[in-house]
Chains A and B, each alone.
Chain A
Amino acid sequence: MSESVLFYLFSFLAVLAGLSVVMQRSPIASALSLVVCFFALAADYALLDAHFVAVVQVLVYAGAIMVLFIFVIMLLNIREPGPTPFGLISRRGLLGIGVAALLGVGLIAGLDGLVHRPAPELPEGYGTIHNIGEQLFSDRYLLPFEAVSLLLTVGMIGAVVLAKREV
């Protein structure tokens, strides 16, 4: 099977799972759909030669972040919402779908202006840990990298302080 057939297959799966995230009645079903979507996107990244990003997607998104989500959903033990859980047919629902459809159509219509050019020859080892690590620790991205580490520390402390019963 060629790469593009696989890409379309996984993209279709990702869009289907994304639709399911938005339409599901219960949060836990939404979360599990989101995991499927993340795995499909990881496959897409791998097909686009982004091997490191694909692995990080599975480890960080499908692993860490979604486990956090599912923990919180189960911790709160939220009862099923009322008779119209979607709220899609309400005035706000129709408005939201309209705005999103406009945005999506606009974004896709903008693709017409793309200049198609032949894909460049990718260098040896493109998208591997070695390649990305060299970029990440070069002068270009070193400061943002350190800033992200600070941000993660602040986020972690903030989450603990917020969720603690008494500070």
Chain B
Amino acid sequence: MEAVGLSPVLAVSAVLFALGVVGVLTRKNALIVFMSVELMLNAVNLAFVGFSRENGTVDGHVFAVFVMAVAAAEAAVGLALVILLFRNRVTVVLDDLDRMSG
């Protein structure tokens, strides 16, 4: 069995992170922006797992589990905010939310 090296893991992680950045910077739909953030968190998890295996310790796995727990809390609060937003403004398009801009 030929094992996977560290470089390909980090390269995949970097590509996924960059895709998440594209989503956050270019999309107008708040829900898709949230999903892009989840994509970035997953890219970081992949890097954690890759480094963990390189070191032969399991600390990176523990961090990955923590990241997932924080992501779950973030998704719950974020989606509640989206629901609140939709109830008040009937939109999830981020460009329409300019009431606080000067």
Contact surface of A with B, Cβ cutoff 8 Å: 2-4, 7-8, 11, 14-15, 18-19, 21-22, 24, 27, 30-31, 34, 37-38, 41, 44-45, 47-50, 52-53, 56-57, 60-61, 64-65, 68-69, 72-73, 75-76, 78, 81, 86-88, 92-93, 95-97, 99-101, 103-104, 107-108, 111, 114, 116, 119-123, 126-127, 131-132, 135-136, 141, 144, 148, 151-152, 154-156, 158-160, 162-163
Contact = CB atoms under 8 A, between A and B. Distances in A.
Contacts of A65: 38, 71-72, 75
Contact of A72 (B10, B52, B58, B79): B79
Main secondary structure of the interface of B (DSSP, over half): helix
Given A30-B35, A72-B79, A108-B15, 14 more contacts: A14-B16, A18-B16, A41-B42, A53-B45, A53-B64, A61-B42, A69-B31, A97-B26, A103-B17, A116-B7, A132-B61, A156-B76, A159-B76, A163-B84
B42 A76 contact: no
Contacts of A160: 80
